[in-house]
Every structure is written in C-alpha cells, then in structure tokens.
Amino acid sequence: MANLNESFQGFHTQNWAQAINEHEQSGTNYVIATLLGTNGSTPRGTGSKMVISGEHIYDTLGGGHLEYVVIEKARELLAKGEATQVIEQFNLGANLGQCCGGAATVMLECMQCERFTLDIYGAGHVAQALIGILAQLPMRIRWIDSRADVFPQSIPNNVIKVVDEEPTEQVKRAPKANNYLILTHNHQLDFALTQAIIKRADANWLGVIGSDTKAKRFKQRLAHRDFTTEQIKQMTCPVGLENVTGKLPMEVAISISGQLIGLYQAMQTHAPKRQGVQWRALKNALISTTQEEVDA
C-alpha cells in the first residue's frame, strides 16, 4: 500500500483541461488518460479523463487500483521521453481486485512539450539567485533539495520544487536528453549525483559547480570507479562562462545562466519543429468538448 500512496502524492483538484493548459504553458511533459470504453460496473463512465505528470495528478478515473495502475503506466511512458499513444485493457475484478468487477479500456497519450528541461540540485544562495534569472526564460526546471526549509516561499511558474531526502533518486525521474546542474552544499552528494547522471548515459548536459581542483578530484575518482574518458567528459566542471568571473552568488548565477542560455538557444536552432498546429487543434477540441459538458 505504500507504493499506492506514494503514487497519489501531488494530487490536484483542477480538472484535466486546466491541467493541459498549465503544462503547455510551463513546458512540462504529461499524459492524458482517457476512459475509452467500459463493460459492466466501473467507477466512472466513458470519456472520463485525467492528466498525469512526473510530479502531479489532475482529475480522476474513479480512484482505486485501476487509477494506481494507470498512473504507474503513465509515468513509465513519461520516463521513455517519447510522444506516444497506447491503449490498455483492464479487468477490474480479476486483475485489479476492485469489487465493481467490470472492465475498462484506457487510452494513454504521452505529450512531449519541447522545452529546455533542467534539473537543479541544491537550493543554496547561488541556486536562488539563478532561479530568479531562469524563471524569465522558456525552460522547465525541477529544483531539488533534501531541505524543505531552504526554498523561498515563492516559486516561479516554470519551476517545480522537489523535496527528497535522497536527491539521487530524482535522477531516475528525469526525462531523456535532460540538462543537469549540481549546486549542492555537499561534495559527496555532488559526486553521487554526478555518478548517477553519467550512468544514465542520456544527459544533454551535466554541469557541476566547483573549482579546477574539485574538477580534477572528481575526474580522478570517476576514473578509479572505471568510468571511461568519454563518460567523464560528460561532466562540465567548473560551470559558467570563462569571461564572467566573480564569487558573489549573483555573479556566479549570471555566469551560469549565460552558459545555460547558450545551451537552450542551440537546442532551439537544431531541434525539428513540433507539429504544434495539429496538437493545438486537438487540445482546443478537447477543452471545447469539456466546456460543453460543463454547460450542459
């Protein structure tokens, strides 16, 4: 039951149409789960929808084990980092142990918002200065720390605050081709995160704050753990623009932000254009249908 409860963390009361708008604006990948058909007794009727992201859940298909399995499958799709559509058949009685005993067919549509994604580990002074800059840019950011009390009260709309006693676990939940910036207060944690990210072998960029001495030490430790030269090259340390120096938090933040801006502009230049016209038409049709149901 612990896993079931964990899957429902981050539940929101907004309807799925509002959730789509929020995720499109923030550039957060998400899954639309739609109940296509039912047979027998089921918690909700055909056409019911919910939206699932890596951190949040909106609306409902009726709760219970069906919803738990749908959320798990949705997050498996999100972890693959690909836009896709799958249809799953669920027998509520035999397979899921729900007393209603019917069957449900659910369509899962994984929507990939083509925005620059960045995980920032550490919520200290440099990170807080940096967030103020990055909040004004077209980036989707997860801001991760084990200490809930170090985060500011106000979090920008394009930033998701994640409090986790084991920050390295969050590496598993990052999308493919993600960007990582390690700014924690603990060198050992920095190294553990660096190892975990390199082992994923799919990072677009990995930056670690520190001096040349720290960079040399990390490279030696990685080599002693049998990481190859090519793997070690994935780490950028120190981070920031070489011609923007200074040790004040804002000076460091500006230097790092310049480097990140260069990365996301390069991504925009080389990435193929998303088929946004078709998706916007679909999204508008879905939202329009929901509004008609509400008005009725």
The percent of residues in the chain predicted with pLDDT above 70, rounded, is 79
Question: For the chain, what is the mean pLDDT?
Answer: 83
Residue type, 123: A
The percent of residues in the chain predicted with pLDDT above 90, rounded, is 53
For 208, the 3-state DSSP assignment is strand
HSE-CB at 149 with a 13 A cutoff on CA atoms is 0
The domains of the chain, with CATH numbers, are 16-114 (no CATH), 116-266 (3.40.50.720)
More confident position, 14 or 149: 149
The reply to whether the predicted model has a pTM over 0.75 is no
Distance set, CA 219 to CA 31, 32, 168, 204, 232 (Å): 38, 42, 19, 19, 6
> How many Å apart are CA 231 and CA 220, to the nearest integer?
12
> 236-287 pLDDT, tens per residue?
999 999 999 898 999 999 999 999 999 988 876 655 444 433 444 444 544 4
Distance set, CA 276 to CA 24, 114, 180, 215 (Å): 11, 10, 27, 41
Give every CB contact of residue 221 below 8 A, 6+ residues apart in sequence: 191
Enumerate the β-bridge partners of residue 121. 144, 182
> 10-33 pLDDT, tens per residue?
566 678 888 888 787 666 789 999
Within the chain, strands assigned E span: 11-12, 30-39, 49-52, 57-59, 84-91, 103-111, 116-121, 139-145, 159-163, 179-182, 205-208, 235-236
259 contacts 241 by C-beta, under 8 angstroms = yes
269 contacts 237 by C-beta, under 8 angstroms = no
Tokens 């998303």, residue? Answer: 274
Question: C-alpha 200: how far from its chain's center?
Answer: 15
Burial of 217-245, coded b for 16+ CB within 10 Å and e otherwise, reads ebbeebeeeebeeeebebbebbbbeeeee
At 86 the pLDDT is 93
Averaged over 206-229, what is the pLDDT? 96
DSSP assignment letter at 41: B
> 65-109 pLDDT, tens per residue?
888 889 999 999 998 878 889 999 887 665 544 445 577 899 999
